Structures are given as C-alpha cells and as structure tokens.
C-alpha cells in the first residue's frame, strides 16, 4: 500500500493505492452541517490548508442504531464531516484501454476519462453510510470505473419537513455531491460526461427522484435503481411544537431524541422520505421518470423476488394483518389488485401472503410502474428480477453482493445463507460494469411488445412478460 495525492479546487487530499486502485475516503463536498447549517441547504466547502487525510472513513450521518442485526453492516463514526464522498479510482485506465496510464488522472480508451458511478446508499432515509463494507468500489475500479459513494443527511436532518427550513435537505446533498463530481472527478481520471447515478432501496428511490428533478438535469447520464423505494404517503410532519431552529439550538442530542419519537409514533411506516412539491420534486417521481429529459437517460431498474417477506416474519401475530393493510392503503393498491395477490398467494401461509402484499406495495409496484411508463414513451429501460433462491432466498439486499462482486465481504455469506455462485456474481457484476460503461447491460430492453426481463438466477435467463404478476396487481384489467 502506497500513498497517493491529488489536488482539488478546495485543496490537496492524500489517499492510498492498493492492488491497482486509488482510494480516497471522506473528501468533503460541502461544509459540515452544524449550528445554523444543520437544517440549511448544503454550503460549498471552503478551501483547507495543507494536505487533508483521506485514508480513513469520515463521520456517518447515522448516529442511532435501530436494527440490532442489519443485513449490511452499519459502521457508525462520530464527527460532523458527514457531507463527504469516498472515491475509488483505477490506478491505470480501463482494462480494455491498454493505455498504461498510471496514478490519479488516468485516462480511459482513446484518452477519454473513465466512466463514473455515483452511489447513493439505502437505509430507509435514516441509516446506512458511504463506507458500508458491501459498497467497496475496488471491484469496479479494477474494471476501469471511478466509483463515488455519497454521504448525506439522514432522518430528521435530511428529510423531515419544517416550515423554517428548506425541504429535501438530503436530496440537496445528493445534488451538491453530483455537482462536486462535475467539478472534480477528472482529477481522479473520471469523465464528467459519463456519470451513472445508482442506488438501492431508499437510494434507488433517490435515483428516481433525481431523474424527475429539474435541479439534477445534466448532472448524470445513466441511472440504476435497485429495489427502489418510492412511498406514496406524505412524509411525517413534525408537529406545531417543533421547528428546525429549536432542534438546531438543541444540537445533535435534541435531533436524536426527536428522531426516536417519530420512530415510536410510526411503528408500521417509515417516517422519512423526500417531499413532493416545490422546485426539487415538482411532481411524484413515478410521474416524472418518463419522457422529456428523464426519458433520454437510460435506466436499469429491478427488484428481488421476495423483498420484504422477512418483515412479515418479524411482525407479531396481532400486527400482521393490520400492518399489511396499512402498507396496502398507504401505497394505494387497488381492490382488484388485492384480489389478484390473494389468488397468487393461494396455498401459502398467512405470513408469506402478508409478505407478498408488502413486496407488491413497497418495491415491485415501483419497478413495474416506472418500467411501464417509460416503455410506453419508448424510453431506454432494462428490468431485472433477482430470483436466486438458495440459502435464505432472494430477499431485500441479497442481490447487492452480486452486483458489487463482494461475496466475501463482512456478513454476506451469513445473510445469503449459502456461498454466492461465482458465475452468477460475475454475470451480475458485469451487467453493471457494461451499463455504466456503455449504457447497455447486455440483455434485452423492456419494451411494450414483449416486456422482457432479465431473471438473475443460476443460470440467468430472459423472461417474456416478466412483470406479469405485478402488472396483474396494479392493472387488473390489463395494459394491452
């Protein structure tokens, strides 16, 4: 391992080079959100003197731990520098270039910069971080891609709407990070004209929000939404007795206590999410992902086959049906769609049936609606369904170690329940590499005449009308 330095517009940073990858952790893209900035729009970072150490993880926005055994380990690092990016860059150009370039600023084919993937982590808009071990960008960097993982404000600080603060502060952070990429990524060998924004779960919902946001126009050129969460119910309001100013005056302790209160008062729903309305998200994300500027951006989108059945396993019996009913109503599953789910769940246990309702409402519907809307407009769209059923099955997050090619990362094998087949890891990882590099993942696009879906199993397959079951729930009369 050797040291490596680059010069940004705000100063020098020192990272590490290891096995052909330059790693820089915790590079600030905005001022620390403390004091008067805690609930403000992100402010551009002032220059720093000397060389900033970028060899260790920076502070995490997540300060509270609600899940005692999260699928993806959630490191919590104290500090205030939460508005930062982690960067993994090839020490040389892409494997196909043969350029022999080395060090920061290495170029891609024909002297062009390397393609860039900007990652927005998930976690229900209240947990997760840029430095979670499943999101080690080294595997992509070794294939000629610069990876940028974004730290952003979460929970109350990022998404609770207050009358005395701008809405969607976490989303403003995403946009500020994308603007940082446009200014600085060439220093790392990246091409600001070849940026893919990608995310999973809440991060996948972030991608769909950004697709429809006028403020993000021109900041990225491809998009990957993995198990995207787009919740239709409005964000939880703070109440008249709480303001951004009063919480900011109380500091992190007051914010965390209010976060716990919102969590306690909303046991069956996520209290945080982007707010629809205004300049950032002028219309519901699923109405803005097709046509116009959004429609010109290639989108790969997909889900796991049994996303949230594990939630049904965790619900106590008295809460099982009411919890599913609340999710179904908040996501507006049509009555005939519920009957379709009942038919599809014939012979399954009550818990499995409830899990199917949660899956359909929370994730599967989002993918189907986005795919159908874009296909009707002729927008370039690719859809996948992760169905690998070995071990613990295709549940939420189980596809990530495959796409990131990290089968040996912390907690992966225990979460999957079986070792990940190397051939499937390679195929799924290659699909993201190809999409980020060329805009084509290597399987057929989702189009109205055949609705082909890539089924990720061992071996992979392509399925015609691969969203038929989901379409039956949301469009019981058919879509033609």
- Which residues carry out catalysis? 201, 307, 396
d(C-alpha 469, C-alpha 413), whole Å: 30
Sequence-distant (6+) residues with CB within 8 A of 50 are: 11, 12
Contacts of 158 by beta carbon, 8 Å cutoff, 6+ apart? 61, 125, 152, 169, 170, 173, 272
- Label residues 351-387 b or e (16+ Cβ within 10 Å = b): bebbbbbbbbbbbbbbbbbbbbbbbeeebbbbbbbbb
Distance CA 34, CA 213 (A): 26
Q: Which residue has the tokens 């879906």?
A: 453
Secondary structure of residue 24 in the 3-state scheme = strand
| Crossing angle for the helix pair 202-211 and 169-184, to the nearest 10 degrees | 70
Q: How many residues does the chain have?
A: 480
- Residue 330, exposed/middle/buried by CB under 10 A (0-12, 13-18, 19+)? middle
Cα–Cα dist 224/398, whole Å: 16
Max CA separation in the chain (angstroms)? 66
190 forms bridges with which residues in the sheet? Answer: 114
Distance in angstroms (rounded) separating the CA atoms of residues 453 and 442: 12
Buried/exposed 94-122: b ≥16 CB within 10 Å, e otherwise = beebeeebeebebbbeeeebbbbbbbbbb
CA distance 383 to 368: 9
The DSSP-derived string for 276-326 is: PSSSSS-S-HHHHSSSHHHHTS-EEEEEETTTTHHHHHHS-HHHHHHHHHH
Q: Which single residue is written with the structure tokens 């109380």?
A: 250
Q: Provide the token pair at 286.
A: 């699923």
Strand bridging mode 222-226 / 190-200:
parallel
């Amino acid at each position: 391992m050797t040291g490596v330095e680059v010069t940004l517009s705000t100063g020098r940073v020192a990272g590490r080079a290891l096995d052909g990858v330059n790693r820089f952790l915790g590079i600030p893209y905005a001022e620390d959100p403390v004091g008067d900035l805690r609930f403000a729009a992100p402010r551009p970072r002032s220059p720093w003197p000397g060389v900033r150490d970028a060899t260790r993880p920076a502070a995490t926005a997540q300060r509270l731990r609600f899940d005692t055994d999260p699928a993806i380990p959630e490191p919590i690092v104290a500090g205030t520098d939460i508005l930062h990016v982690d960067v993994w860059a090839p020490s040389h150009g892409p494997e196909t270039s043969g350029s022999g370039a080395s060090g920061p600023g290495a170029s891609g084919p024909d002297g062009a910069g390397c393609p860039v993937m900007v990652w927005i982590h998930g976690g229900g808009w209240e947990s997760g971080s840029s430095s979670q071990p499943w999101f080690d960008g080294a595997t992509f960097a070794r294939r000629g891609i610069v990876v940028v993982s974004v730290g952003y404000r979460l929970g109350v600080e990022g998404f609770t709407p207050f009358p005395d603060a701008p809405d969607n502060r976490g989303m403003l952070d995403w946009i500020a990070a994308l603007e940082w990429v446009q200014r600085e990524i060439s220093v790392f060998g990246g091409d600001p004209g070849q940026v893919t924004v990608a995310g999973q779960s809440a991060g996948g919902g972030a991608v769909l929000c950004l697709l429809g946001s006028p403020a993000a126009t021109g900041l990225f050129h491809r998009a990957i939404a993995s198990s995207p969460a787009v919740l239709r119910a409005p964000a939880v309001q703070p109440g008249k007795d709480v303001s951004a100013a009063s919480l900011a005056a109380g500091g992190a302790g007051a914010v965390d206590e209010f976060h716990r209160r919102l969590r306690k008062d909303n046991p069956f729903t996520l209290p945080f999410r982007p707010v629809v309305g205004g300049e950032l998200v002028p219309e519901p994300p699923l109405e803005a992902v097709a046509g116009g500027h959004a429609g010109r951006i290639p989108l790969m989108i997909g889900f796991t086959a049994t996303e949230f059945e594990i939630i049904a396993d965790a619900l106590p019996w008295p809460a099982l049906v009411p919890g599913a009913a609340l999710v179904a109503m908040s996501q507006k599953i049509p009555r005939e769609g519920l009957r379709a789910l009942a038919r599809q769940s014939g012979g399954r246990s009550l818990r499995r049936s409830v899990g199917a309702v949660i899956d359909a409402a929370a994730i599967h519907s989002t993918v189907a609606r986005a795919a159908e809307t874009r296909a009707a407009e002729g927008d370039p769209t690719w859809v996948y369904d992760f169905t690998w059923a070995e071990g613990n099955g295709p549940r939420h997050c189980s596809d990530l170690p495959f796409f990131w090619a990290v089968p040996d990362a912390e907690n992966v094998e225990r979460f999957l329940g079986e070792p990940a087949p190397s051939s499937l890891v390679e195929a799924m990882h290659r699909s993201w590499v190809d999409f980020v590099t060329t805009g084509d993942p290597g399987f057929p696009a989702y189009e109205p005449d055949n609705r082909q879906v890539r089924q990720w199993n061992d071996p992979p397959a392509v399925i015609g009308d691969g969203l038929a079951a989901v379409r039956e729930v949301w469009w019981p009369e058919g879509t033609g």
